[in-house]
Amino acid sequence: MTSSTEFLNASDAARRLGVSAKALRLYEQRGLLAPVRTAAGWRTYGPEQMARAGEIVAMRALGLSLAEAKRVLEGDPRGLDAALAMHHTVLEGRMLELSGMMERLRQLRDRLRRGEAPAKGELASLVAPGPAGIGFELPWPWGGERFELGPVRALTYIIGPLGSGKTRLAQKLAEVLPGALFLGMDRLVDGLAAAVRMEADAALRQRVERTLGWLIEDGAVASEALTALCAGLETDWPRAVVIDMIEAGLDQASQEAVIAWLRQRPSGARPVFAMTRSNAILDLAAVGAEEAIVFCPANHSPPLLVAPYPGAAGYESVASCLASPEVRARTEGMVAWRPQVA
């Protein structure tokens, strides 16, 4: 390591790459990335490591699993063509949208030169609309207060302590979101339901098998819970999916693979609302621009949107609700209490 070469610590490297330090450690654990160690044993990332990490981040954004990314880095391009084809389709869609907007703009300018004023709403159509927001009256245990969610993000986490009403909030969201599907805990009870649906729907079975393959290559463990979750996520009709305790029945590796898959979906994918209390699902340091956090307080005051940085209103409350998958499995269904004293 020379003084003329810039080496970054894990936090700075992750910030520059737009990922979390946890993601860099995962790349290292899977043999994709080897940081340089200082004499004291600290991880550092020089130009060579940053370039390789940038390739990994790009492949993840294209939808490759870690196993597929590793094969590409080792010279085997299997899986890359399908990912590039999907990205090509996304870009073509954006080009068509922009082409239509440019044509409308050209026509409007031609009419302006002839002294014609724009029609009502015509100017608004030239600006790409932002994500639509939703609002509704809160159900019991709230008192009917108005809740405004604002723009619907690609991935929204619903957090809260036991008894805070987060399940009722999730169910209400599934009611008010047009064409939404609610995946409740019953998906874990009837393990045959997903298999029956896939047997009757060959296209669904193919999508689920593809997603399961991606997840398992990324470290997930095959299980009925994982299959049921994938079957819900890959159902073709809903415009949004609301999931009750997304981590239920999944070990830590599977949870990490699921959240990685949800984050790498292409732009414009259906929104997912995920109830969780697992820090493997909601890594506060890794929340991106297309993600949002809704916190349900224990005192049943209205839910609030929480920004993912220390000091933000509600941040510490959200952090206190999250635990590792190991702790979540050990304390499932438990409620903390203190005995009365005289």
What DSSP string describes 113-170? HTTPPPPTTTTGGGSPPPPPEEEEE--TTS-S-EEEEEEPPSEEEEE--TTSSHHHHH
Q: Is residue 233 part of a domain?
A: yes
- Most trustworthy range by pLDDT among 91-95, 122-126, 133-137, 151-155: 151-155
Which position has the higher pLDDT, 335 or 233? 233
Order the strands of the 8-9 sheet from edge to edge. 8-9, 43-45, 36-37
- The pLDDT confidence band at residue 200, using thresholds 50, 70 and 90, is confident
Quick one: 31 and 170 in the same domain?
no
Identify whether 338 is part of a domain.
Answer: no
Give yes or no for a contact between 27 and 65, defined as CB atoms under 8 angstroms apart: no
CB 68 within 8 A of CB 261: no
List the single range of 99-103, 151-155, 277-281, 331-335 with lowest mean pLDDT.
331-335
Distance CA 322, CA 342 (A): 33
275 or 178: whose pLDDT is higher?
A: 275
Query: Are both 144 and 257 inside the same structural domain?
Result: yes
Last residue of a domain, one of 37, 52, 73: 73
Would you say residue 340 lies in a domain? no
Residue 2 has pLDDT above 80, yes or no: no
100, 223: one domain: no
Is 341 within a domain? no
Ranked by mean pLDDT, the top range of 82-86, 147-151, 173-177 is 173-177
Residue 231 shares a structural domain with residue 270: yes
Residue 196 and residue 137 share a domain: yes
Q: Is 151 inside a domain boundary? A: yes
Q: Please tell me whether residues 303 and 209 are part of one structural domain.
A: yes
The rounded mean pLDDT for the chain is 87
Helix boundaries (H) for 126-284: 166-176, 186-189, 191-200, 202-217, 224-233, 252-263
Domain ranges, residue 227: 133-330
**Contact (CB, 8 A) for 318 and 292:** no
Alpha-carbon distance of 140 to 168, in angstroms, equals: 8
Domains in the chain: how many in total? 3
Spatial separation of the C-alpha atoms in residues 129 and 69, rounded to whole Å: 34
pLDDT of residue 258: 95
pLDDT digits (tens, 9 = 90+) for 77-87: 877 887 788 77
Beta bridge partners of 182: 242
Per the listing, tokens 């954004």 go with 61
337: in domain: no
Does position 103 have pLDDT exceeding 70, yes or no?
yes
- Claim to verify: residue 137 and residue 270 sit in the same structural domain: yes
Residues 56 and 201 in one domain: no
Phi and psi torsions of 117, nearest 5°: -80, 150
Cα→Cα distances 234→111, 188, 280, Å = 46, 17, 22
248-267 average pLDDT score:
91
Check residue 336 and give its pLDDT. Answer: 46
pLDDT interval class at 129 (50, 70, 90): low
Question: Does pLDDT of 204 surpass 70?
Answer: yes
Answer yes or no: is 342 within a domain: no
CATH number for the domain spanning 53: value is 1.10.1660.10
92 and 32 inside one domain: no
pLDDT bin (cut points 50, 70, 90) of residue 245 is: very high
